[in-house]
């Protein structure tokens, strides 16, 4: 007997639509986020009648529907007749973390492909020309706290007359790194996403289960175990990841039923695997954290020299912004010193930045 002989055939899969368990999947309906979606839509609404929209800073803990809610509103714009003249772009500032990369992504999303040899100023001129030909634009910037500079925001605020800017971050206190000239022009309204309750987490996971699996594939007790584990974190992504992993384990065992046994196996297997999260550190942040750990108690200026010696290539300003971000996540502590003109003292606290130890 071959190793593949005992596997379920494609038509026997427990999954009806595995794409619904992708962490980037955007459901048509978002339970328990209706009010937030209406708030976002109302910020954009003035653009439909030729006025400027409102700017929003969307914040809240990871895995509670911020990004998917913004994406859902933007996608719904494509289906509404009255929004035909309003274009939108969605940029992840973790992946596109400089003004050049952000603006390059924007012009590509807006359909302009002739970007070879263009610098940052050239790209902004392209954005400006596109904006002049369209009624208005919506700019959504996810994980805005990961951007290394915010010149692109200044350009957009100055050169695009009718727009809405939506900034998304896990850190409600984030305003760091923005020049006063940007902040005074941006003046965003704050939209906080509260954590889901256990019953809300269960509702959302039940919806995903219906999207992704054939009917009657899951044992009730197995699903309850996934929902309980996800509710412990208040993070729907934990539950979605476990739904997928449990289903895959059932299929690997040629089972047409997902039972508690497969959920337990999935939980055990995922203990040492990072779940993709805005809180997962970039390579540069890992380097900075390692420097902080090895030289805890040093002043920021001294740490920056160690960072450069260890191969870091960011500016002092970017380094200081990264330290503040790590402090906000309570991985390090910044202590003011009494010495006049001296920088803060940095203390490593030893926290881990990953969703593990279920």
Residue linked to tokens 């040899």? 117
Lowest mean pLDDT, pick from 124-138, 231-245, 298-312:
298-312
pLDDT in tens, 313-352: 887 877 887 787 777 666 787 776 655 444 567 765 554 3
User: To the nearest whole percent, how much of the chain has pLDDT over 90?
Assistant: 53
3-class DSSP state of 236:
helix
Rounded Cα distance between 119 and 104, Å, is 9
The predicted pLDDT at position 255 comes to 92
Rounded Cα distance between 318 and 313, Å, is 10
Give the CA-trace dihedral at 197, 201, 203, 205, to 10 degrees: 180
Nearest CA among 148, 86, 149, 156 for reference residue 123: 156
Contact 266, 225 (CB under 8 A): no
Beta strands in 45-118 (DSSP E): 56-60, 86-92
Q: Look up the pTM and report it.
A: 0.75
pLDDT tier for residue 140 given thresholds of 50, 70 and 90: very high
Contact 148, 94 (CB under 8 A): no
Q: Which domains, ranges and CATH numbers included, belong to the chain?
A: 10-18+198-270 (1.10.8.60), 34-193 (3.40.50.300), 283-348 (1.10.10.10)
pLDDT tier for residue 8 given thresholds of 50, 70 and 90: very low
Lowest mean pLDDT, pick from 167-171, 204-208, 267-271, 347-351:
347-351
What is the rounded average pLDDT for all residues in the chain?
A: 84
Contact 220, 260 (CB under 8 A): no
pLDDT in tens, 71-119: 999 999 888 766 668 899 999 998 899 999 999 999 999 999 889 899 9
The predicted pLDDT at position 29 comes to 83
Helices 99-109 and 151-159: crossing angle, nearest 10°? 50
């Amino acid at each position: 007997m071959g190793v593949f002989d005992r596997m379920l055939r494609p038509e026997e899969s427990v999954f009806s639509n595995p794409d619904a368990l992708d962490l980037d999947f955007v459901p048509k309906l978002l339970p328990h986020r209706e009010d937030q979606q209406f708030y976002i839509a109302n910020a954009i609404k003035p653009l439909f009648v030729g006025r400027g929209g409102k700017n929003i800073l969307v914040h809240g803990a990871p895995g509670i529907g911020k990004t998917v809610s913004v994406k859902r509103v933007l996608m719904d714009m494509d289906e509404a007749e009255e929004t035909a003249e309003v274009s939108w772009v969605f940029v992840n500032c973790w992946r596109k973390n400089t003004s050049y990369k952000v603006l390059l992504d924007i012009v590509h999303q807006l359909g302009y492909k002739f970007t070879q040899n263009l610098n940052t100023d050239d790209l902004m001129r392209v954005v400006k020309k596109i904006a002049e030909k369209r009624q208005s634009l919506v700019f959504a910037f996810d994980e805005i706290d990961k951007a290394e500079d915010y010149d692109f925001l200044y350009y957009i605020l100055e050169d695009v007359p009718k727009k809405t800017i939506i900034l998304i971050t896990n850190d409600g206190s984030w305003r760091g790194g923005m020049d006063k000239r940007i902040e005074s022009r941006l003046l965003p309204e704050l939209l906080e996403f509260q954590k889901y309750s256990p019953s809300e987490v269960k509702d959302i996971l039940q919806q995903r289960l219906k999207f992704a699996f054939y009917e009657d594939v899951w044992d009730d007790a197995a699903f309850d175990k996934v929902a309980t584990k996800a509710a412990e974190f208040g993070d729907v992504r934990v539950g979605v990841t476990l739904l997928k992993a449990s289903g895959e384990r059932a299929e690997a065992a040629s089972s047409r039923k997902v039972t508690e046994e497969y959920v337990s196996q999935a939980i055990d297997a995922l203990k040492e695997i990072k779940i993709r999260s805005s809180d997962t550190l970039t390579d540069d942040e890992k380097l900075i954290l390692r420097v902080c750990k090895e030289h805890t108690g040093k002043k920021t200026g001294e740490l920056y020299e160690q960072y450069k010696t260890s191969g870091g290539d960011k500016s002092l300003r970017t380094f200081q912004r990264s330290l503040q971000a790590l402090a906000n996540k309570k991985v390090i502590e910044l202590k003011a010193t009494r010495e006049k003109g001296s920088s803060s003292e940095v203390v490593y606290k030893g926290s881990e930045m990953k969703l593990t130890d279920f």
